[in-house]
């Protein structure tokens, strides 16, 4: 699967639909962080395209199978990085003023707004939706970001490295949202460290969530 290609997303969804009888859990986890100003195959800003639009299209393409498999769950991996983010509806691809951090925060805020609107649309279907911050994890996600950090900042923040989670530890909140029975009747909420948490106020904006849904559907050809 190449989330930077809408055709690749559609091809995977088609393969799953043709070869799988049910889909109990869909985890939207893959992402990219603070890369240069790159574009996806379809001309979208890379972080918004991969972190949000690819998952948005894949999830919508698999909704019928998820509904046939109820009770089923959709887990959307966001980040605490959504804080201080906003959706730039007037410049969604950030062509006017690209900044890697601004782009990343926008895409992670989009994850939570997508979860919120999707949960509202799936009320009563038996499909529940969750978003989460997995923690700071020892993976390759920061490969574009870390080389740009000045040496003095690396030295100051080096003690923080002791708090970085292993991949196993970082997966726990995702697993919790995917299978924990205590969350079977909740939907549209945000979690961190296997507990319900309150996201930034911008992530609770239902009007923005609806507007983002409509824009995303148009961008991926679902409108």
CA separation for the pair 110, 77 (Å, rounded): 11
- 104 catalytically annotated: yes
Residue 12 half-sphere exposure toward CB, CA atoms < 13 A: 16
Q: Which of 104, 130, 190, 191 is catalytic?
A: 104
Q: Are strands 195-197 and 189-192 parallel, antiparallel or unpaired?
A: antiparallel
CA separation for the pair 60, 37 (Å, rounded): 27
CA separation for the pair 222, 167 (Å, rounded): 34
Helix, strand, coil share of the chain (percent; to 5): 50, 15, 35
CA separation for the pair 88, 154 (Å, rounded): 30
Which of the residues are catalytic? Answer: 104
């Amino acid at each position: 699967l190449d989330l930077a290609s809408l055709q690749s997303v559609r091809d995977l969804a088609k393969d799953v639909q043709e070869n799988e009888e049910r889909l109990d859990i869909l985890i939207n986890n893959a992402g990219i962080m603070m890369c240069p100003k790159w574009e996806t195959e379809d001309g979208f800003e890379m972080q918004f395209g991969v972190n949000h639009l690819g998952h948005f299209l894949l999830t919508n393409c698999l909704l019928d199978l998820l509904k046939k498999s109820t009770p089923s769950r959709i887990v959307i991996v966001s980040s605490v990085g959504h804080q201080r983010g906003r959706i730039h509806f007037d410049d969604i691809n950030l062509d006017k003023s690209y900044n890697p951090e601004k782009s990343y925060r926008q895409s992670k805020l989009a994850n939570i707004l997508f979860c919120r609107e999707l949960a509202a649309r799936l009320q009563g279907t038996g499909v529940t939706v969750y978003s989460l911050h997995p923690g700071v994890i020892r993976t390759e996600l920061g490969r574009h970001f870390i080389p740009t950090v000045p040496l003095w900042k690396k030295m100051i923040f080096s003690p923080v490295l002791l708090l970085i989670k292993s991949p196993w530890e970082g997966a726990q909140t995702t697993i919790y949202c995917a299978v924990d029975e205590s969350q079977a009747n909740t939907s549209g909420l945000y979690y961190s460290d296997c507990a319900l948490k309150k996201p930034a106020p911008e992530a609770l904006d239902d009007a923005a969530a609806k507007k983002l849904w409509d824009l995303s559907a148009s961008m991926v050809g679902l409108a």
